[in-house]
Amino acid sequence: MEIYENEDEQLEALKRWWKENGKSIIGGLVLGLAGVLGWQAWQSYQVTRSEEGAQRFGSLVISMRQHEIDRASDQARQLMQDYENEAYGVFAAWAMARQNVTLGDLESATSSLQWAIEHSPDDSLKSISRLRLVRVLLAIGRLDEAEKIIGASRNQAFAAEFSMLSGDIQLARGKPQLARQAYQQALLEGVKDRNLLEMKLNDLGDAGLPAAVDAS
């Protein structure tokens, strides 16, 4: 059985349906088209912004290589401001910290790396920033702060690197046995620089081994 008995009824039904639903369909099409165009515009903006960030960061690297300290500092600060909470802002903070370390200003390096931690857009960048900050804190003897940062790190992708740094901290505290344990943990976790870690263990020699029990 046909729903509509003739073409006139079908046409009339179509007119009523369009009258009732036409506005919403047009609105949906407009919104859909706007969404597509908006998404394309957003993607284009992000590509342009990323390219601009790459160029500016490249100029910063060149300034650092040419030892243009003031220029590099200004470029880094501007990138950190313009790309706050974005990757290139973090890269600029790393560059600033590296320059600070080269100049022997480790305290300023810690500030730059702390900024990078607070403004990292993802956990990987945050973890790398923490690793670098721990190394600087270790160099200036702020061991308690370094340990707190390691304790707050939960990214398993960097667990081995943090374990190795934990061993370095224990060694700096004069606790070779704890240092050895941390180094061995780093080996189990698959540390990237295995050769360096094995050198650290070899340097420990027997210092990190428990004393033999005299049973005589």
pLDDT tens-digit readout, 73-100: 999 999 999 999 899 999 999 999 999 9
More confident: 213 or 48: 48
Q: What Å distances lie between residue 52 and 20, 41, 56, CA to CA?
A: 49, 16, 6
* Lowest mean pLDDT across 1-10, 27-36, 184-193: 1-10
Supply the pLDDT for residue 29: 57
Supply the pLDDT for residue 205: 78
More confident: 17 or 206: 206
Mean pLDDT, residues 104-133: 94
pLDDT tens-digit readout, 155-201: 899 999 999 999 999 999 999 999 999 999 999 999 888 999 999 99
Residue 67, both tokens: 């030892």
Supply the pLDDT for residue 183: 95
Supply the mean pLDDT for the chain. 82
Burial of 78 (0-12, 13-18, 19+ CB in 10 A): middle
Residue 168, both tokens: 């370095």
Q: What Å distances lie between residue 37 and 40, 51, 63, 168, 191, CA to CA?
A: 5, 21, 39, 53, 46
With vertex at residue 131, the alpha carbon angle to CA 126 and CA 134, rounded to the nearest 5 degrees, is: 120
DSSP string, 141-183: T-HHHHHHHHHH---GGGHHHHHHHHHHHHHHTT-HHHHHHHH
pLDDT at 6 over 80: no
Candidates 166, 209, 163; CA nearest to 186 is: 163
Question: Cβ neighbours of residue 30 under 8 Å, at least 6 residues apart?
Answer: none
Length of the chain counted residue by residue: 216
Q: What Å distances lie between residue 161 and 16, 168, 180, 191, 196, CA to CA?
A: 70, 11, 14, 6, 11
pLDDT tens-digit readout, 39-68: 466 466 566 777 888 899 999 999 999 999
Rounded Cα distance, 69 and 25, in Å: 60
pLDDT at 7 over 70: no
